Amino acid sequence: MSEKTNAQVLIGGKIFTLSGYESEEYLQKVAAYINGKINEAKESESFLRQPYDIQAILTELNIADDYFKAKKQLDILEIEIEAKDKEIYDLKHELISAQIKAETNEKTIEELREELSTVQKKVLKLETELEDFQALLD
């Protein structure tokens, strides 16, 4: 496990010390995200008229909303990945079946070529015999 990291971050104009097993860059990124949500909310005059505790709750609700939307999107993507994995599995199975069929067909073609060659030799032999027989009759 990695070492615990402490990072001082500025959130809403106040300095906080965050601790975690993530990098300091990650902790700063989290703080920047929260500051972005706070600044986004502060663009609304009705938000600014609310008491601080209500502002905090509204900001938390916005962050929770982002989380649940991201989670829903992740769930959708995971379902799509599972479907794609199944499709790939099915296609690989079809490919293997087609390869086996192709190999079987190639063997059959080779056997038929050999049989054709044998029959052609017999035909040639019979034509020669026929010519010899006709020559005897003439």
The total of structural domains in the chain comes to 1
Cα pseudo-dihedral 23, 24, 25, 29, rounded to 10: 110
Domain assignment of residue 34, yes or no: no
For residues 12 and 38, give the distance between their C-alpha atoms in angstroms, rounded to a whole number.
7
Contact between 9 and 31 (Cβ < 8 Å): yes
Q: What is the pLDDT of residue 127?
A: 95
Is 101 a domain residue? yes
Q: What is the pLDDT of residue 137?
A: 86
Residue 11 lies in a domain: no
Is 50 within the bounds of a domain? yes
Question: Average pLDDT by consecutive 10-residue portion of the chain (138 residues)?
Answer: 90 95 96 96 94 95 98 98 98 98 98 97 95 88
Q: What is the structure's pLDDT at 2? A: 76
- Give CA–CA dist 138/62, Å, rounded: 109
pLDDT at 1: 63
Residue 110 counted as domain residue:
yes
